[in-house]
């Protein structure tokens, strides 16, 4: 039996523009996903995926050579996607699963799968480790995206992430602000599809030179920021820049314009988590607004 585990992710700066070369600040989460393989005599893959509550949310049986789906179940779109990932892994390493036996495979999520912390990226990284291949190449052949989530899956510290000549530049950074007890993550009650958000962004045509320069400066300033008020200004400015770029209203002005603090969207706008910077504990405020998942920074980030 062997187990692989990958960290979840949050992108604190540079959402969308990371795709065009901006320097982004990303952090791995304490929550992640594991993948356990147990050899069996039958040449089959018996796959079970468990959610954070221990319930099976996907179950499938595949052949080991061409990953043909051998069982009937309602989640066939998930089975098809998994088959694509396994075939892509085999393309990158033809020796992958070239064995006379099979495996029982179990994946275990440590966070609700609608949170957007990296159900897909942690799976990609775990399968890549199992297949002994480059996780970034596997991502490219399957889900696509910037790859910062793969970098977070592989790191136990905050990182800066930049795409340079189509290759990732990853640097471990010491991001542990002295005011982190005033930072929180609030879930917006809806999973956002990153691919839809990226498609909207790509459809907008404009020169991003000045935008990327401004975001780069904000990322660098956040790494050395020593007080909460400056940090609040930085994330509010970041929201304003991305709002203009996307031609979308900020989440703060849409839903929380009476909040005494700063709010920044994370990931694809309109869902997933927000970063909150607040002098006082904002739990009561957001619960009154109907948002009940409020996680302090120190309980979310590695």
The pLDDT score that the predictor gives to residue 201 is 72
Which of the residue ranges 62-71, 127-136, 156-165 would you say has the lowest mean pLDDT?
62-71
In angstroms, what CA-CA distances link 15 with 8, 120, 170, 173? 16, 18, 16, 18
Taking only the tens place, the pLDDT of each residue in 96-118 is 999 999 999 999 999 999 999 99
254: buried, middle or exposed (CB in 10 Å: 19+, 13-18, 0-12)? exposed
pLDDT for 269: 81
**Residue 300 CA from chain centroid, whole number:** 13
Domains of the chain: 2-172 (3.30.230.10), 180-300 (3.30.70.890)
pLDDT at 139: 98
Phi, psi of 260 (to 5 degrees): -90, 80
Indicate if the alpha-carbon torsion angle 70, 71, 77, 81 is positive or negative: negative
Tell me the C-alpha distance between 49 and 64, whole Å.
18
What does pTM read for this prediction?
A: 0.94
Give the whole-angstrom CA distance, residue 265 versus residue 78: 28
Tens digits of residue pLDDT in 255-277: 999 999 999 999 878 668 999 99
**Residues contacting 254, CB < 8 A, separation 6+:** none
**Can you say how many angstroms the Cα of residue 265 is from the centroid of all Cα atoms in its chain?**
14
Percentage of the chain beyond pLDDT 90 is 88
pLDDT at residue 267, as a whole number? 81
d(CA 143, CA 125): 12
């Amino acid at each position: 039996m062997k187990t692989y585990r990958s960290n979840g992710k949050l992108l604190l700066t540079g959402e969308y523009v990371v795709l065009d070369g901006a320097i982004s600040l990303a952090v791995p989460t304490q929550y992640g996903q594991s993948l356990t393989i147990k050899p069996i005599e039958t040449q089959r893959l018996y796959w079970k995926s468990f959610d954070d509550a221990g319930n099976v949310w996907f179950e499938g049986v595949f052949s080991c050579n061409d990953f043909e789906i051998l069982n009937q179940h309602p989640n066939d779109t998930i089975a098809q996607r998994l088959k694509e990932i396994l075939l892509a892994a085999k393309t990158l390493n033809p020796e992958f699963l070239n064995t006379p036996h099979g495996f029982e495979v179990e994946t275990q999520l440590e966070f609700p799968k609608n949170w957007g912390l990296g159900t897909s990226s942690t799976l990609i990284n775990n399968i890549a480790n199992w297949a002994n291949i480059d996780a970034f190449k596997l991502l490219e052949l399957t889900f696509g995206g910037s790859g910062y989530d793969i970098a977070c899956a592989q790191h136990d510290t905050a990182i800066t992430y930049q795409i340079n000549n189509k290759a990732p530049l990853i640097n471990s950074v010491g991001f542990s602000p002295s005011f982190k007890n005033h930072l929180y993550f609030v879930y917006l009650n809806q999973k956002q599809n990153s691919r839809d958000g990226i498609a909207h962004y790509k459809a907008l045509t404009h020169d991003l030179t000045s935008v990327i320069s401004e975001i780069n400066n904000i990322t660098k300033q956040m790494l050395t920021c020593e007080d909460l008020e400056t940090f609040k200004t930085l994330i509010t400015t970041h929201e304003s820049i991305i709002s203009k770029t996307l031609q979308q209203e900020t989440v703060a002005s849409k839903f929380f314009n009476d909040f005494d603090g700063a709010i920044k969207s994370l990931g694809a706008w309109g869902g997933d988590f927000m970063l909150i910077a607040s002098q006082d504990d904002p739990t009561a405020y957001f619960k009154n607004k109907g948002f009940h998942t409020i996680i302090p920074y120190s309980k979310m980030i590695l």
